[in-house]
A and B are shown apart, each in its own frame.
Chain A
Amino acid sequence: MADTHSTVAEHAEHSPHLRHHFDDMAQQFDSATLGMWVFLLTEIMFFGGMFGAYTVYRAMYPGAFASTSQFMNPFYGALNTAVLIVSSLTMALAVRAARLGEQKALQLFLVFTMIFGTAFLVIKGFEYHEHWVDMKVPIIGGHWDYSEFPQFARQAQIMFCFYFFMTGFHALHMVVGLGLMTTIFIMARRGTFSSSYFTPVEVSGLYWHFVDIVWIFLFPLLYLIGRTKKLI
């Protein structure tokens, strides 16, 4: 191990992807994974704050929150959950293919992941459209009509606000994820990855799975509340 200066011969020995401040590829990989997890922790806190605020308001206005479930489409929600879980599977298989150095399989699974990710956003778009048609978008100026449950007309706006912010930020993360996948796909096409270097695939996969986890919580909390309630 060279302590200060590496020679030309040493350069030839190690992978061109090994940065000089790491001992070897394994250490570099572990560091990158750890770094990605640190980033994901900040993301956990970001979404955690929204989940916390949601819980406070739901505890304050349970009736109003339950009433909004009449205007959510749990079928779309469940379908999107399934779509996202499939995309996580194809992502995991892409990382596996990268590790094994199977370039064709890697590219194929990345394409599948992008297709399912896009399908998720399209379905989400249909849902947003339904809310718009239903007049359930409490923006300033008001695209809002809650005459079905006039007693909750104000408080239900809070829930829809949470709905649009939480699913909106989640969708934004999906868009970023699709950008990452496109980048990784181009890198894969150029032959950047091998069984000894696949770190970008791995850390992008961690991000993709994290976004999946956020949705796993959003689905029951936004779509499945108050489905059994006979509303007052």
Chain B
Amino acid sequence: MHSIPSVRTYVTIWVILTVMTFVTYYVAQVELGAWNIVVALLIAFFKMMLVILFFMNVKADSPLTKLFAGAGFFWLILLLGQFFVDYLTRSWMPEGKMW
């Protein structure tokens, strides 16, 4: 089956995840304009990859499982992408104004 990761690896990943939680918490207090959401999502994406690759150990899974995990996110990007192509390009929408 798989090689078994060491306790040290798991604890290191946990420390990074916890530090990133503090980083995302404090970065949200800093005014970065539109970049606030970009930074928040990048950090969340980074944390997600750590959890998937190490905690869920997809790194050591069979190529087929890797393909399926990747395909899931590819499909999600298709879903959200098509969604936003429509909704986020409707110039007549209220966008931040009241009715």
A92 adjacent to B55 (CB under 8 Å): yes
Set B37, B41, B72: member contacting A37, Cβ < 8 A: B72
Q: Chain B contact residues: over half helix, strand or loop, or mixed?
A: helix
Q: Beta-carbon contacts of B5-23 to A below 8 Å, as 1s and 0s?
A: 1010011011001100110
Q: Beta-carbon contacts of B72-84 to A below 8 Å, as 1s and 0s?
A: 1101100110011
Q: Beta-carbon contacts of B46-66 to A below 8 Å, as 1s and 0s?
A: 011001101111000110110
B96 adjacent to A61 (CB under 8 Å): yes
Q: Given A88-B51, A212-B51, A220-B43, A225–B65 Cβ distance below 8 Å?
A: no
B61 adjacent to A220 (CB under 8 Å): no
Q: How far is the CB of B95 from chain A (nearest CB, A)?
A: 6
Set B51, B79, B84: member contacting A209, Cβ < 8 A: B51
Q: Chain A contact residues: over half helix, strand or loop, or mixed?
A: helix
A63 adjacent to B65 (CB under 8 Å): no
A37 adjacent to B10 (CB under 8 Å): no
Set A48, A59, A96, A209: member contacting B7, Cβ < 8 A: A96
Set B5, B47, B94: member contacting A60, Cβ < 8 A: B94
B55 adjacent to A209 (CB under 8 Å): yes
Chain A count of residues within 8 A CB distance of the other chain: 55
Instruction: Return chain B residues, CB-CB under 8 Å to A210.
Output: 56
Instruction: Return chain B residues, CB-CB under 8 Å to A141.
Output: none
Instruction: Return chain A residues, CB-CB under 8 Å to B29.
Output: 227-228
Q: Given A40-B72, A217-B48, A45–B79 Cβ distance below 8 Å?
A: yes
A60 adjacent to B95 (CB under 8 Å): yes
Q: How far is the CB of B97 from chain A (nearest CB, A)?
A: 9
Q: How far is the CB of A193 from chain B (nearest CB, A)?
A: 14
Instruction: Return chain A residues, CB-CB under 8 Å to B17.
Output: 85, 88
Q: Given A30-B62, A34-B62, A220-B40, A44–B76 Cβ distance below 8 Å?
A: yes
Q: Which segment, of A10-18, A74-82, A169-177, faces chain B?
A: A74-82
How far, in angstroms, from A86 to B17 measured CA to CA in the complex?
9
Rank and list the top 5 A-B pairs by shortest CB-CB distance, nearest first.
Answer: A224-B28, A41-B72, A220-B40, A228-B31, A89-B14
Identify 20 new A-B residue pairs, CB closer than 8 A, beyond the known A63-B96, A81-B21, A89-B14. A25-B1, A29-B1, A38-B68, A45-B75, A48-B79, A52-B79, A52-B84, A60-B95, A61-B94, A62-B96, A74-B28, A88-B17, A91-B55, A93-B7, A95-B57, A99-B1, A206-B56, A216-B44, A216-B48, A228-B31
